[in-house]
Amino acid sequence: MTLLTAVFAAVSSTVLWYFKDGKNHLKLGTLSLMYWGAALMWTVDAVFAYAELGMEYFMPAPADMLNDFFLGISVTALGLIIWLVLLLFHDPKGVVKQALRKDGVS
Amino acid sequence: MACFVVPAAEAVVTTVVHKVICAKEKKEAALSGRQKTEIAKPKMISFSHKLKWLNNMLWGGSALLAFEHIWHGEVTPWFPFLSAANSASETAEMLHEMSTVGVAMAVLVTGVWMGMTVIANIIEKRPQQKMETNPGELS
């Protein structure tokens, strides 16, 4: 479930980057790479788990599935927070800088 | 247990390499700026930029996996920070997982990045090849 959530987050952010942020002004490319990195790592984790558990891997208990889904959503939220911090720090459109200057003047 | 440590260690190495290559490319760009050539080369994506893709995947993936380990109680905020480091048998198991799952993670991410750079090179060359094979197409 965590892997699936990460894959959906990676695909969505990549599609958004492709159609809305080709020049990476909004750092959506960075966000998608972060999610892809995590998705690839969880894929490896899943392969090893499958090798150990066999078909049982595809039949998790409902409580485990819910916990994994909750984890996946939390991981996606953490990724978004990291992206937001990066975006505000790099400030590609100068919005933060402008706001700070305004505050300084007023 | 601590499989994310391996890609995180690779991320440290690639970040250092990225910084070194960035400085080298800046030096080269300054030099080539002085020695102006007659034929202008088309702008290609620099290797340092491509290496940044790998950095983003490794750092991002490691950070999100570290969160998962905190969630499962495998990473603790107090020394020795890894719950598996409390006993010898668990430490051995953790090291085994790092050498198998962790290394596989680092290898897969690096492999995908290599694929991305190859595809990026092909895409970069595409319009030029079209121009060479069908020079009259655009006119």
What per-residue confidence (pLDDT) applies to A91?
Answer: 86
CB spacing of A79 vs B105 below 8 angstroms: no
Using the Cβ of A2 and the Cβ atoms of chain B, whether some distance falls under 8 Å is answered with yes
Using the Cβ of B65 and the Cβ atoms of chain A, whether some distance falls under 8 Å is answered with yes
Interface probe with B: pick from A2, A41, A64, A70, most Cβ of B within 10 Å: A41
Instruction: Single out the residue of A75, A91, A77 nearest to residue A27, CA to CA.
Output: A91
Instruction: Single out the residue of A81, A78, A11 nearest to residue B65, CA to CA.
Output: A78
What per-residue confidence (pLDDT) applies to B135?
Answer: 45
Q: What is the pLDDT of residues B13-66, one digit of tens each?
A: 999 999 999 898 888 888 877 665 555 556 788 888 899 999 999 999 999 999
What per-residue confidence (pLDDT) applies to A106?
Answer: 57
CB spacing of B57 vs A44 below 8 angstroms: no
- Closest alpha carbon within chain B to A47: B101
Better-predicted residue by pLDDT, B41 or B6: B6
CB spacing of A33 vs B53 below 8 angstroms: yes
DSSP A38-60: HHHHHHHHHHHHHHHHGGGGGS-
Using the Cβ of A92 and the Cβ atoms of chain B, whether some distance falls under 8 Å is answered with no
What per-residue confidence (pLDDT) applies to A46?
Answer: 93
What per-residue confidence (pLDDT) applies to B51?
Answer: 92
* DSSP SS3 for A56: helix
Using the Cβ of B78 and the Cβ atoms of chain A, whether some distance falls under 8 Å is answered with no
Q: What is the CA radius of gyration of chain B?
A: 22
The ipTM is 0.87
- If pLDDT is split at 50, 70 and 90, which confidence band does A73 have? very high
- Average pLDDT of every residue of chain B: 83
- If pLDDT is split at 50, 70 and 90, which confidence band does B130 have? low
- Closest alpha carbon within chain B to A72: B68
What per-residue confidence (pLDDT) applies to B94?
Answer: 87
CB spacing of A75 vs B112 below 8 angstroms: no
Say if residue B1's pLDDT is above 80.
Answer: no
CB spacing of B109 vs A45 below 8 angstroms: no
Q: What is the pLDDT of residues B96-109, one digit of tens each?
A: 888 899 999 999 99
Q: What is the pLDDT of residues A4-58, one digit of tens each?
A: 999 999 999 999 999 987 777 888 999 999 999 999 999 999 999 999 888 888 8
CA distances from A2 to A29, A41, A49, B32 (A): 21, 11, 13, 48
Could you state, in order of their start, the residue ranges of all structural domains in chain A?
A: 2-105
